[in-house]
Structure 1
Amino acid sequence: MEIVICPDATEAGRLGANAIVALLQRKPDAVLGLATGSSPMAIYDELVRRRQSGEVSFAQARAFTLDEYVGLASDHRETYHNVIRRDFVDRVDFAPAAVHGPDGLAADLPAVCHEYEEAIVTAGGVDLQILGIGTDGHIGFNEPSSSLASRTRIKTLATQTRIDNARFFGGDVDQVPTHCITQGLGTIMDARHVVLVASGHGKAEAVHQLAEGPVSAMWPATILQHHPHVTVLLDEAAAGRVQLYSYYRETYAAKPQWQGL
C-alpha cells in the first residue's frame, strides 16, 4: 500500500487522474471501477479537463459502478446511476451503454447481484478501481462487520452512513434508503489497481485504521492491506492521524519517477 500525502484535494485528484490517463494511453479499452461521492470529484474534474484538452479518451473504455441504492425511482436525482453520469460519465466520451451499474429496482435483487459479478468477470475484470472511504471505514457500501471475502450483494446501510449521506437528501435522514446493492470486499480486491482518495479531518481516523490498523471486519477498508497494488491519495487533513506521516512523505519524495502510481 502506497500512502501519498498531498497538499490538498486538488493535487490528490491530479495524481489520481495521472494514473487513469496512463492506463488508458497504454490500454484504451481498459475497464474502470467508478465510485460516487465527494472524494473522487477532484479526479473526475481533472479527467474532464484532460478530455477537453484532447489528452485522453474514454471512447473504448468500459466501467462498472460500485453500488446503488435499493428502491429509489429511476429518475431520482440521487440514484448512483444518475449521480455518476452527472458527475463524470456524461462529461466525457464514454460510448453509449459502456458504463454499467446494478439495478436497485429489480424484482429479483439476488439475481441482479449474481449477474453483476458475472458481467465484471466477462469484461475481463476491473483494471483500476476508484474508491472513497466512509468515516466508519466502509468502502463501497461494505459496512463494518462485512465479510472480508464478500461478493456483490444486498446490504443494510448503517445509521452513520445514512446520517453522512443525508446531505444529499436535503438533510433528511429518513429520505436516505435503508438498503443498497454493493460490490463486495472480495469483488473490490479482484481489481488490478485500487486508487483510494480521501480528504478532510472527518476521514482521518478511517485512514489511520486503513493504513496502520489491524485487518478487521470492523474497519472494512483494512482488507486493502492484502492487495498487491493500492494507492492511497490523501490531503493533509485526512492524513492527520497517521503515525508514519514523515515516513510516507520521505518514501514518496524518493520514489523513482518512472515508477508512477
Structure 2
Amino acid sequence: MFNDVTSETIQKILDISTPKTYDLTDVHGTQAVFSFEPLHQVLAAPPPEPKLVSVNTLAGFADLIRANLENEDFPFEYLIHVESETTVALKAKETDEYGRRLVLIRAQPVTFDKFKFGQWLDQETFAIAVASLFAETPDKDYVINLASSLTNEATSTSDDNGFTQKATVKAGLSHKAQVTIKPRVALAPFRTFPEVAQPVSEFVFRARITDSGPALMLIEADGGRWKVDAMKTIREAMEGFALEIPVIA
C-alpha cells in the first residue's frame, strides 16, 4: 500500500501540516503576524554541566575551592550559598546561555542520629539520647539528672497555670523529694555541621508516669529560629576561611 505514495502526495501532507501565518492589521493600524497553530523554537541541546563534587565538611569544601582556584578551573565568577543548616554550595553568580546556574561543589554533613522530638521516651532511652545527641549546655545536665532521678510515683501538673509540673525524685539512698520541673529548657542538639557550634534553642520539657514507669518528652519551641542561627554560624565559618568569594546565607 505504501508503494503507491508519490512525492506529490508527501508534499501535500507537508503543506497541510505546515502552520500558516497571516499578516493582520488591527483597528489602530498596527500590523502583526498571527498563526492558528502554536510555534515552538527548536533549540540545540545544552552541553552537559560540570560534574558536581560532594564533600562532608566545611574544611573540605574550602580546600577544594582553593585547589581549583589555584588551577584556574573556574570559568565564571562564583559565590558560596548557604542553602540550609545542612547544605553549602559553590554556585555561579549568573546563569549560563542556557539559563542554568552551575553548581560545582556541595557540602553536606555525614548522616547522624537525631533526637526524637515530640515523642514520649522511657526514662533510660531519654537519658541516653540526651547524653549522646546534644552538645553541652547547662540545661543538658539538668535534664539528664532529672530524668535519671524520677521515681515511679505520680508526676502531676500544678494548679497554678496547668503547665508547670511537679515530680517526685530520688533525694538520696532512701529519701525522696518533690521538685518543680522547668517547663522550658535551652538545649543544643546536633543538627548541623559538627565543625561549628550547635545552635541553642528552647524546648518544652514534659514528664509523666506510664504503666511501665516514667516517660519524658522534648518539644521544639523556637519556631525554627535555630535554622537561621545555624546558617549564620556556617556563613561566619566560611568567611573565616578567607576564600575571597562572597558568602550568601
**Higher helix fraction (1 or 2):** 1
Whether TM exceeds 0.5 here: the answer is: no
More strand by share: 2
Rg comparison, structure with higher value:
2
Q: TM-score range by the shorter chain?
A: under 0.3
Asked which structure has the greater RCO (Cα within 8 Å, sep 6+), the reply is 1
